[in-house]
Amino acid sequence: MTARIINGRAIADAMQEEMQEETHQLVDKKKFPPGLAVILVGENPASQVYVRMKRKACEKIGIYAKQILLSGAIKEEELKDVIRQLNNDNKIHAILVQLPLPEHINARSVIETIDVRKDVDGLHSVNLGNLLLGIPKFIPCTPLGIMELFKREKIELKGKRAVVVGRSNMVGKPMAILMMHNHATVTICHTRTVDLPSVTREADIIIAAAGKAYMITGDMIKDQAVVIDVGTNRLEGKLVGDVDFKAVSQKASFITPVPGGVGPMTVTMLLANTIKAYKEQVK
């Protein structure tokens, strides 16, 4: 049997259409649009692509997107000053600092400078802490998008064994917490995990978020597992996931493709978080 392919692109498009309607109504009422500032430091080509995608999505649904391009040589304090100005700008309701930042900048310290109410990436310690406590306000966009895929595809988490491969603050950890709060039994794997295949073979649900092309192979999953591929890897000029799609889709019950799975949902949840931030700030 082959897996059902979760069409993240189509789900994201449908959600963005609903959001477009909502932003139009909000602008009619409040007379100004939600505003998102995206800060890009340096010239990382992948980051440039992500920032462009985010800006285009904003424009499509009626969010004002302010793109701030800064030199890779900028000092940490100068970057923080830019963020402080945005914190005080009432046209800007949401701030995103595109990661990774250049090595001489302490990314954690920069993120802590963002006003918690404008932290639509959900990476500020207050937002991550609230997520841990089960009282989230802003949830990181990728895990939030995956939860939306589960909801729309009616994939039950309660009682399931879930394995997350990857423990980053942006994807792996918040994903694991969200699934735990939804009553899955969760295991988190990383580079020091011994015998990863024996762990993934136990999983009803696998989230592959390691950033290693094709690392999840057909023999690493059990029959009928749900496989969510977060990975975005460039291989010979092509975008590929962390999952060997061809082999795994022969065994899984559900699978997300790369591209067209998790990626469009991440952008869509950024828009959702921006509208949420606007509604909370503009009463």
| Pairing status of strand 205-208 against strand 94-97 | unpaired
Residue numbers annotated as active site: 54, 98, 121
The reply on whether position 196 binds ligand NAP by CB under 6 A is: yes
d(CA 98, CA 197): 33
Site string for ligand NAP, 141-160 (x = CB under 6 A): -x------------------
In the complex, least distance from residue 39 CB atom to ligand NAP, rounded to whole angstroms: 17
Closest approach of Cβ 1 to ligand NAP, in Å?
26
Nearer to ligand NAP, 82 or 265 (CB): 265
CB of 8 to ligand NAP, least distance (A): 9
Q: Is 233 in the site for ligand NAP (CB under 6 A)?
A: yes
Task: By CB under 6 A, tell whether 263 contacts ligand NAP.
Answer: yes
Q: Does 201 bind ligand NAP (CB under 6 A)?
A: no
C-alpha span between 144 and 230 (Å, rounded):
12
List Cβ<8 Å contacts ≥24 apart for 62-65: 62/20, 62/23, 62/24, 62/27, 62/33, 63/23, 63/33, 63/34, 63/35, 63/36, 63/271, 63/274, 63/275, 64/32, 64/33, 64/34, 64/35, 64/36, 64/91, 65/35, 65/36, 65/37, 65/38
State the amino acid at position 107 in one-letter form: A
> At closest approach, how far in Å is the CB of 255 from ligand NAP?
14
Would you tell me how many other CB atoms lie within 10 Å of the CB of residue 159? 9
Please identify which residue in 82, 184, 215, 226 interacts with ligand NAP, judged by CB under 6 A: 215
Number of residues forming the site for ligand NAP (CB under 6 A): 26
Residue with tokens 């921006």, as numbered in its chain: 274
The reply to whether 113 sits near ligand NAP by the rule CB under 6 A is no
CB nearer ligand NAP, residue 85 or residue 191: 191
Q: Is there binding between residue 228 and ligand NAP (CB under 6 A)?
A: no
CA distances from 155 to 38, 70, 142 (A): 33, 42, 17
- Considering the complex, state which of residue 37 and residue 210 has its C-beta at the smaller distance from ligand NAP: 210
Pairwise CA distance, residues 130 & 137, whole Å? 7
- Tell the smallest beta-carbon distance from residue 92 to ligand NAP (Å): 23
Please give the residue ranges that form the binding site for ligand NAP (CB under 6 A): 142, 165-168, 170-172, 189-193, 196, 209-212, 215, 230-233, 262-263, 266
